[in-house]
Amino acid sequence: MVQQGHIVPYRTFILVWLTLMVLTVVTVAVSRLDLGAWKIWTALGIATVKSALVVFFFMHMKYEPLYYRIYLYLTLVILAIFIGLTFSDVHYRMTP
């Protein structure tokens, strides 16, 4: 039995890797700036882009059937619910 997955060319992987390297340097550089409350959102935003690159290219998500992506988004939505609804309590509490 021959398994027929998608073969991703090395060139794609190397381009993704270069982007990841650049983004790492960018996120470290940006963290030296004084952005106030935006600091954590910038850091998380860059991390999200990086993880999307890993998931879609390194992990072949781009080449999988649609329902794989739906399930991935479902997992992330559930995690977002866990964090978000916890804040419906935490954000409105007077003392920690």
Partner 1 sequence: MEESIKAAGSDDRGFLGGERGLRSWIFSTDHKRIALLYLWSIMSFFLVGMTLGFLIRLELIAPGATIMGAQTYNALFTLHGVIMIFLFIIPVVPAVLGNFLLPLHIGAEDVAFPRLNLLSWWFYLIGALMALASLFTGGGPPDTGWTFYVPFSTQTTTNVTVAAWAVFVLGFSSILTGLNFLTTIHRLRATGVTWNRLPLFVWAIYATAWIQLLATPILGLTVALIAIERIFQIGLFDPARGGDPLMYQHLFWIYSHPAVYIMILPGMGIISEIIPTFSRRRIFGYWAIAVSSLAIAFAGSMVWSHHMLASGMSDMGVFVFSLLTFLVAIPSAVKVFNWLATLYKGTIWLAPPMLYALTFLVLFSIGGLTGLVVGSAGTAIHTHDTHFVVGHFHYVMFGGAIFAFFGGLHYWLPKIYGRMYNLRLATWAWGILTVGFNLLYFPMFILGMQGMPRRYYDYLPQYTTLNVVSTVGSWILIAGLLLMLWNLWRGSRSGPPAGMNPWGGRTLEWTIASPPPKENFPGEIVVSTDPYDYHTGEGHS
Partner 2 sequence: MSQTHGSYGTAKLGMWLFLFTEIILFGGLFVLYAVYYYFHPQGFASASHELSLGFGTVNTLILLTSSLFVAASLSALQKGERRLTLLLLSGTILVALIFLVNKYFEWSEKFAHGIYPNGPAMPNLAPGEVVFFALYFVTTGLHGIHVLIGGVLLTVIAFGVRRGSIHQGDYVKLENSGLYWHLVDLIWIFIFPLYYLIL
Using CB under 8 A as the criterion, which residues of the chain lie in contact with partner 1 when the complex forms?
Answer: 67, 74-75, 78, 81-82, 85-86, 88-94, 96
- Nearest CA to 8 among 65, 63, 72, 64? 63
- The nearest distance, CB 79 to partner 1, in angstroms, is 8
Between 3 and 66, name the residue whose CB sits nearer to partner 2.
3
Q: Sign of torsion, CA 66 68 73 74?
A: positive
Of these partners, partner 1, partner 2, none, which one is at the site of residue 16 (CB under 5 to 8 Å by kind)?
partner 2
**By CB under 8 A, residue 26 contacts partner 2:** no
Contact 69, 56 (CB under 8 A): no
Tokens read off for 7:
């073969």
- Per residue in 52-76, is it b (16+ CB within 10 Å) or e — as a string? ebeebbeeeeeeeeeeeeeeeeeee
Per CB under 8 A, residues contacting partner 2 are 1-5, 7-10, 13-14, 16-17, 20-21, 24, 27-28, 31, 39-40, 43-44, 46-47, 50-51, 54-55, 57-60, 68, 71-72, 75-76, 78-79, 82-83, 86-87, 90-91, 96
